[in-house]
Amino acid sequence: MATRRILVSGAGIAGATVAYWLARSGFAVTLVELASGIRSSGAPVDIRGDALSVVARMGVLDQLREAATTARQTVIIDEHGSPLARLATQNSVGRRSPSTASGPGALAEIELARPDLARIMLATIADDTQLIDRDSIRSLNEDHGGVDVSFDSGREDRFDLVIGADGVHSRTRSLLFGPEAGYALHLGLYIGGMPVGDLPDVPGDVLHYNLPGRSVTIHPASGIPMIAFIFRSPALPDFDHRDLDQHRRMILERYAHDRWRTPELLGYVRSAPDIYFDAVTRIALRSWSSGRVVLAGDAASAVSLLGDGSTKAIIGAHTLAHELATTLDHTAAASSTSQFASIAFRRYEHQHARRISPAWQVRATAGLLVPQTRTGIVVRNRLLRTATLLNRGLQSISRTPIN
């Protein structure tokens, strides 16, 4: 029987991961990506838990550790840059993972810039995986034997299955379930960010400055620092995630009178050739699949505020590839592929849906990052200071010898 052909739309973290594991299982994989390069805010993301085991088996764990950030804490500061509270990062906690640690000091979590993660994961793609860049799916037409796909370039092809891993504004998803307005839940925040390679006076720690309903952050990352702006706002009816001029205006207007280093950072916003900017959105679908097409990563679920969206993307992509490899009968007729795939899709969704952060959890995270009021900021800072003192006390006790 012919090798099953699978199209993966989106060469980001989820797309690269699922393509890697499918190719290892003997599928003929085609990976299509619209962007000509990796587009990201540069914001750090975390790899933790089961995702560490996945990337270790992909042979890239050491590369990820080499690209990791080194900031040991997040410092909450006032308008003069004076510290108000501190929050330890995984670099200072230093927890180890017995199953994946490969040397002294190996951490159970790795934080690195998202573009670095995407670049490293994409480099794992096998030579026999066909990579098509600067193109995108235009239409999907499924019949009893497969899916006919037409692309923006005019190219046409036929596949046994299609995986949409093309992000929170997935075109694959819109072809399946219609415009995202019908299932995208706005969670009250907008985020803008970008890497700034020539930023002077880069701190060794993450610096986080708050005013009610908004924040500014400088993260040293892993050599190319990034700046981020997060602010609260109801859903804006005219918002367009592709409109750079609109994004620039929104940031400049909301931060025009803020202090600390904000005026300096807004200068970079004015001159930036690109800004990663979007609403924080929860995608709420009844199912992640339809027929021979299934969704993965942000296309299927949600955006995270604490950087673990990439962890979930890796785990989910691996789960999907595993279920297809163990469920799909390669000797069956092409017409029965849909039946086997449907079983695999259901098993994948049943397992992975439990890992997705509910809307209330994202909103709770927002309350920590961007309190709505000055009182909320004060209370958050006090809680962080108390937690820091308590942690120091516990560490001191643990180091005290018992006579």
pLDDT at 91: 62
Residue 355 CB-half CA count within 13 A: 24
Element of type H or E holding 51:
helix 50-57
The domain locations on the chain are 5-38+54-70+111-182+283-360
On whether the CB atoms of residues 289 and 268 are closer than 8 A, the answer is no
Residue with tokens 């994004």: 247
Q: What is the predicted pLDDT for the residue at 302?
A: 67
H-run or E-run covering 289: strand 289-290
What is the token pair recorded at 200? Answer: 């002077």
Instruction: Give one word for 49, left, alpha or beta, with left for phi > 0 and alpha for psi -120 to 50.
Output: left
pLDDT at 263: 98
Is the distance from CB of 372 to CB of 213 less than 8 angstroms?
yes
Q: Which CATH class is domain 5-38+54-70+111-182+283-360?
A: alpha beta
State how far the Cα of 114 lies from the Cα of 365, in Å rounded to an integer. Answer: 20
Angle in degrees, 0-180, between the axes of helices 244-254 and 262-271, rounded to the nearest 10: 170
Which alpha helices (H) appear in 162-261, and where do they start and end?
A: 171-177, 244-254
DSSP 305: S
pLDDT at 400: 46
Whether residue 155 contacts residue 301, with contact meaning beta carbons closer than 8 Å, is answered with: no
Low-confidence ranges of the chain (pLDDT < 70): 1-2, 36-42, 90-107, 302-304, 306-307, 329-335, 389-403
Pair of tokens at residue 326: 């163990």
